[in-house]
């Protein structure tokens, strides 16, 4: 096979390469986009009218106009799909090494993930760990509609998104460590050891390829339970000036504060007539508003939204803030913050009057909501 010639770029004396955040404008590239409630209703009706496909997946994907066709997403690292199941239907099993956050926007049903049954209703959220087989079931008498958020575009950009159609619904791989441990030739007698007084270490191969394992579980956050706790924050009134939200926290993610290792999902209630102060972060936010209405200001441009709309409301490093109108707003927000924390790239500026910081490596911020 003939190898292609590698391009050589002479960077002698050139400034360090990077994206220029000051050149970002909403009119260029990854500007905010909104999928309206009306568009969702049209797509749900269209999908529901189609004959059942062989794999049972009636699905539409929402793609940003600036997305790379080879890695389509609603932002560069997040894929959002709408799935519909009619009463009595179910999907064929599938698994993949991308992780997901699922959100029911209509109806109810059941998802089976790696043998675990999750019964869900409207506005419930649950996660799908990597490479666990799953299928969705609509055992109710009403139409079921779900939104799925996936990190597939990121893996596809790396050319390593692996999908297995119709796998067994139980784990079929067992790692047998005992036999390896019995073979002394496979274990370095030196183990892992420090080589200076500051923590730098050397680790042998057998430990490199067998890191400590933590079970990655599918978790379920029922909306009624989440709402009860959000409403307690609302009841605090003016005595609480923090943001009224909860992270749907998966303990597997540890200090990266995630729902999956790649995303966090937060549920927020915005009291009427609340205006956040502008801030920005390199993580990109996608908001689904399912009660109330309001607007977002992104890089000086105003975008209106209402219940049932889905919006890419904060492209990475864009200055933005949100406001509610005359009734409470409930919303689900998906951000790729945990990924950035682990990459040590989560630059965050909670107030435009304060310097930015790398969250997870330096001290973070207090809320940016004002007491007024």
Is 221 exposed, middle or buried (CB count within 10 Å of its CB: 0-12, 13-18, 19+)?
buried
In 10 A of CB 24, how many CB atoms?
A: 19
Number of domains into which the chain is organized = 3
Do 153 and 64 fall within a single domain?
yes
Looking at the fold, whether 69 and 143 belong to one and the same domain comes out as yes
Tokens linked to 160: 């390593």
Measure the N-to-C terminal CA separation of the chain; round to a whole number of Å: 68
Q: What is the DSSP string of 24-48?
A: --TTSSS---EE-HHHHHHHHHHHH
Residue 176's pLDDT is what?
41
Whether residue 322 lies inside any domain: the answer is yes
Tokens 């997870």 correspond to 360
Paired with 247 in beta bridges are 266
Task: Examine residue 363 and state whether it is found in any structural domain, yes or no.
Answer: no
Predicted pLDDT of residue 122: 98
* Residue 42 φ/ψ region, left for φ over 0, alpha for ψ in the -120 to 50 degree band, beta for the rest: alpha
User: What gap in Å lies between CA 326 and CA 258, rounded to an integer?
Assistant: 31
Instruction: Determine the Cα–Cα distance for residues 131 and 118; give it in Å rounded to an integer.
Output: 17
On whether both 197 and 313 belong to a single domain, the answer is: no
For residue 276, the domain's CATH number is: 2.60.120.10
Looking at the structure, do residues 135 and 97 belong to the same domain, yes or no?
Answer: yes
- pLDDT at residue 173, as a whole number: 42
Domain that holds residue 63: 30-165
Distance CA 311, CA 74 (A): 9
Residues 227 and 288 in one domain: yes
pLDDT digits (tens, 9 = 90+) for 260-279: 999 999 999 998 998 988 99
**Are residues 143 and 248 part of one domain?**
no
Element (H, E) at 242: none
Same domain, 199 and 228: no
For residue 366, the model assigns a pLDDT of 66
CA dist., res. 289 & res. 328, Å (int): 11
pLDDT for the residue 91: 97
Which residue has 């209405």 as its token pair? 293
Residue with tokens 């042998």: 204
User: Are residues 259 and 151 part of one domain?
Assistant: no
Longest dimension (CA), the chain: 71
pLDDT at 364: 65
Provide the 8-state DSSP code for 279.
B
Instruction: Output phi, psi for 237, to 5 deg.
Output: 60, -145
pLDDT computed for residue 369 by the predictor: 53
pLDDT at res. 210: 85
Residue 11 lies in a domain: no
Extract the residue ranges of the chain whose pLDDT is less than 50. 26-27, 172-178, 371-372
């Amino acid at each position: 096979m003939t190898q292609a010639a590698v391009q050589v770029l002479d960077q002698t004396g050139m400034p360090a390469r990077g994206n220029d955040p000051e050149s970002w404008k909403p009119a260029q590239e990854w500007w905010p986009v909104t999928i309206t409630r009306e568009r969702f209703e049209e797509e749900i009706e269209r999908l529901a009218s189609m004959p059942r496909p062989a794999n049972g997946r009636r699905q539409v994907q929402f793609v940003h106009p600036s997305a790379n066709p080879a890695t389509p997403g609603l932002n560069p690292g997040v894929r959002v799909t709408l799935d519909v199941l009619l009463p009595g239907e179910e999907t064929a099993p599938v698994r993949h090494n991308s992780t997901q956050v699922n959100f029911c926007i209509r109806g109810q049903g059941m998802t089976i993930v790696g043998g675990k049954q999750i019964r869900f209703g409207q506005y419930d959220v649950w996660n799908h760990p990597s490479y666990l087989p799953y299928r969705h079931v609509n055992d109710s008498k009403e139409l079921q509609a779900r939104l799925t958020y996936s990190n597939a575009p990121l893996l596809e950009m790396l050319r390593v998104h692996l999908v297995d159609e119709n796998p067994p619904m139980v784990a079929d791989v067992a790692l047998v460590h005992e036999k390896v441990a019995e073979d002394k030739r496979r274990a370095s007698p030196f183990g892992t050891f420090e080589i200076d007084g500051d923590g730098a270490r050397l680790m042998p191969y057998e430990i490199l390829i067998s890191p400590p394992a933590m079970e990655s579980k599918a978790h379920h956050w029922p909306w009624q339970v989440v709402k009860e706790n959000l409403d307690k924050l609302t009841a605090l009134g003016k005595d609480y000036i923090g943001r009224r939200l909860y992270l749907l926290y998966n303990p597997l993610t540890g200090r990266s504060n995630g729902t999956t290792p790649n995303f966090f999902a937060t549920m927020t209630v915005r009291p009427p007539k609340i205006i956040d102060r502008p801030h920005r972060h390199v993580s990109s936010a996608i908001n689904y508003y399912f009660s109330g209405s309001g607007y977002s200001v992104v890089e000086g441009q105003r975008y209106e939204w209402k219940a049932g709309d889905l919006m890419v409301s904060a492209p990475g490093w864009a200055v933005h803030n949100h406001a509610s109108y005359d009734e409470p707003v409930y919303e689900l927000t998906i951000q790729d913050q945990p990924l950035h924390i682990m990459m040590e790239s989560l630059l965050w500026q909670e107030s435009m009057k304060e310097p930015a910081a790398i969250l997870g490596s330096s001290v973070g911020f207090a809320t940016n909501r004002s007491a007024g």
